Amino acid sequence: MKKLRLSTGLLIGLCLSAPLIAIMYLANVLFALPFVPFDLFDWVSRVLPGPVITFGIDRMIDAFILLNINVADNAKTAERSIALLQFLGIGVVTAAIFYAVLSWRRLKGDTLTGLVLGALFGFPLVAISAAISQSPVSPLPRLAWLTLLFLGWGLALAYSYRRLTGMEAVTPPPLESAAVEKIGRRQFLIRLGATTASITVIGGGVGAVLAAAERRQLAAALDASMAHQAEGSSEMPFPNANDPVVPVPGTRPEYTPIKDHYKVFLRTEPTVIEGSTYILPITGLVDNPLMLTLDDIRNNYPSRDQYVTLRCISGRIGTTLVSTTLWTGVSLQKILADAGVQDSAHYLYITSGDGFYETLSLDLINQDERILLCYGWDGNTLPVDHGFPLRIWIPDRYGMKQPKWITGIEVVADDEDGYWVTRGWDKIARAKATSVVDTVAVNNIITDGDQRRVPVGGIAYAGARGISKVEVRVDGGPWQEAQLRAPLSETTWVIWRYEWPFQAGDHTFEVRCVDGQGNRQIEEEKSARPDGASGIHSRTATLNG
């Protein structure tokens, strides 16, 4: 029996695991069957301790910054890539270990051995997928499909082992040389590699095309379902359209296009909930438990529109994980009034379709009628990847406190730590005041007679507290007050503008702000964990004379 190198086992693992991923992906797109690489990644991200998850997120952000990659646009792509590499790595290493054991024990790699190998590799992954998968397919077909795939992987592994060790019934005649035998193994590896590449490219490519088409159809259907509600806000005049303070060229858009709005969710893929059958139960310590459809919420309660800036607590100073759009929904106060909250109740326990959960104080709800159950963004249906059919908005809080894909609200007596709080993040999560230098417009110098000025611009944000002042300093000099553009609402960021007398050379521009209550932003530099980043943002620019 020919002994195999470790590298051969790794190569076979790659050749068998890559098409396995492609087949699972195609089946996921065509028939909504589980995609185990993403299920595994989602499971790992839940069972790992909070500090480990935070460390991983921080290192990913470090890499993005080093490579000048936009975090908001590419974070999910990076997660999905890691999920694929994680599964592929497990498959490759597992195959190499199996090869080593078979060779060490001098086993034949027969059919039974292949089934055992497939079971050892696949059954833990099948169990994980069964526990966490969002697939709408009933459990029995899912189990049968994944079992078939992994047993097939094991049989293919055993077959390749037999071929490469010369124990398959295609061994060369006795008179053939060792060189001929080596060529036979090489031809087998070449054919296996070609087959692997074909299956992987075809399965992955077809799956990607179909997935893109499905996303477009879903988005169109959701927008059509709410076409009667309102026209897109981004196409309508904004309340501050006539404000004389004009954003400096290069400042981020005051109103974020939906496609650019940052998104953060627990899973590798967004949760999909069928709107036509959706029901929101409001239960617990209430006199009148409610079972509300989306139409009930839209038609039976007065709608409210609110321009909102939302920021992620994990974002660093100067982060792109902050965006502004128009939210449409109903006051949570109104719905709870119909439910009849009992005197012993003090909190809402809110659950989400992606496994997220959070507790919200009834005292806070009673104090602020702006807390909304939202079903619309930008005058259209709430997008699937931003929480359809319902998400909550709580003024003055980071996004980590605001559940999306809401599936249930229970009125309870006792407080309970939410999903991210149990993983070491702040329980209150009040949005800190922050300001950012978006641009030093070196190509838009303002000339006024003999004077030249450099426009500098950016944003400042302090939750629902508003912004009363923004100050800029250059090269460590005195702080100078900037102009403020009227905000879209009291709960959005403020666009600021400062014009600095031109001086050639390299210069550093810093910014700080004061919130609407007179509190200056925290200048001490601090990381995001556990209650949000703080510090002064700066930008360096070269001005050529």
Q: What average pLDDT does this structure show over 397-403? A: 97
In the chain the domains, ranked by start, together with CATH numbers, are 6-216 (no CATH), 258-421 (3.90.420.10), 434-543 (2.60.40.650)
CB neighbours (10 Å) of residue 22? 21
**Whole-angstrom Cα distance, residue 437 to residue 538?**
6
CB-based contacts of 291, cutoff 8 Å, min separation 6? 279, 280, 281, 282
pLDDT in tens, 133-157: 999 999 999 999 999 999 999 999 9
Cis preceding linkage at 270, omega within 30: no
pLDDT tens across 450-485, in order?
899 999 999 999 999 999 999 999 999 999 999 999
Q: What percent of the chain is modeled with pLDDT above 90?
A: 68
Mean pLDDT of the chain: 89
Q: Is the pLDDT of residue 226 over 50?
A: no
- Spatial separation of the C-alpha atoms in residues 187 and 193, rounded to whole Å: 10
Could you report the per-residue pLDDT of 327-352, keeping only the tens digit for each? 999 999 999 999 999 999 999 999 99
CA distance 154 to 156: 5
Identify whether the C-beta of residue 507 lies closer than 8 Å to the C-beta of residue 474.
yes
What pLDDT is recorded for position 520? 98
Q: Name the pLDDT band for 209 (thresholds 50, 70, 90).
A: low
The most confident of the ranges 61-65, 220-224, 360-364 is 360-364
Q: Is the confidence at residue 181, as pLDDT, over 50?
A: no
pTM, whole model, 2 decimals? 0.84
What φ, ψ does residue 438 adopt, rounded to 5°? -75, -35
Q: What is the pLDDT of residue 345?
A: 98
Q: Residue range 90-113: average pLDDT?
A: 86
